[in-house]
Amino acid sequence: MSQSTQQQLITMLDLQDAMNTKVNESWREQGYEWYRAIWIECGEMLDHYGWKWWKHQSPDMPQVKLELVDIFHFGLSCRLVDLDDKKKIAETLAEEFSSPKTDTEFRTTLEALALDTLQTKNFNATLFAGCMQQIDMPFSELFSSYVGKNVLNFFRQDHGYKEGTYHKVWHGKEDNEHLVEAIEMLDVSSKNFSDELYQELKRRYPE
């Protein structure tokens, strides 16, 4: 994977560390079961994708992709607990993303990810990349979706979400819609993408 991909991975690691620290400054010492969150999310994703043979089901791909993004939050947290060097973590993840591992189809690859997570209590990025590959989700989409969700969460917290003073609808649109529009306006390959996205949301938000 390219240098820009490694930089994007470092950006996501920085954001994950910052979000975890916002929740608990000493989060690394708490022994949180990040692996448990991963396999639970795998089950929720399977419900969105469909697995019941006794009824008609169509995959809800936007929700499937959102669940994958959620898994990546927990996966990054797993890696950050194990190692402080974000550059090294990014290099390792980039190598693993370059070698996606798949099973016969998406559902069995997802089950392999859940099984590996339960066995190792860690995050298998090659199987995760295999899941992405089988639903045609490029790394660029993972990056923009991940950063978008993190930045919006920070933005909400900074503008009164806990206190109940945050406005979720601005100028007739929900904040999620503004987020999508803002991402489309910006260069996701920019080193300062997350900061630029936050500033664009701030520009749009009615003070």
* pLDDT score at 51: 93
- Residue 108 in this model has a pLDDT that exceeds 90: yes
Contact at 8 Å (CB) between 142 and 68?
Answer: yes
pLDDT in tens, 147-171: 998 998 889 888 988 889 998 898 8
Closest among 182, 25, 45 to 107, alpha carbons compared = 45
pLDDT-derived band at 87, boundaries 50, 70, 90: very high
Please indicate, yes or no, whether residues 123 and 149 belong to a single structural domain of this protein. Answer: no
Q: What is the mean pLDDT of residues 78-94?
A: 94
**85 and 182 fall within a common domain:** no
Degrees to nearest 5, angle at CA 68 with 62 and 71: 145
Does the pLDDT value for residue 1 go beyond 70?
no
pLDDT greater than 90 at residue 188 = no
Domain check: are 30 and 131 in the same one?
yes
| Shared domain check, 118 and 74 | yes
Mean pLDDT of 173-201: 88
Please give the tally of structural domains in the chain: 2
pTM score of the predicted model: 0.85
| DSSP letters spanning 84-144 | S-HHHHHHHHHHHHTS----SSHHHHHHHHHHHHHHHSS--HHHHHHHHHHTT--HHHHHH
Residue 2 has phi, psi (to 5 degrees) of: -75, 170
Please tell me the predicted confidence (pLDDT) of residue 187: 87
User: Which pLDDT does position 204 carry in this prediction?
Assistant: 93
Q: What is the mean pLDDT of the chain?
A: 92
119 and 171 assigned to the same domain: no
Shared domain for 84 and 68, answered yes or no, is yes
The per-residue pLDDT for 115 is 98
| CA neighbor of 84 nearest in space, from 29, 128, 126 | 29
> Which structural domain, as residue segments, surrounds residue 46?
3-136
**Does residue 2 carry a pLDDT above 80?**
no
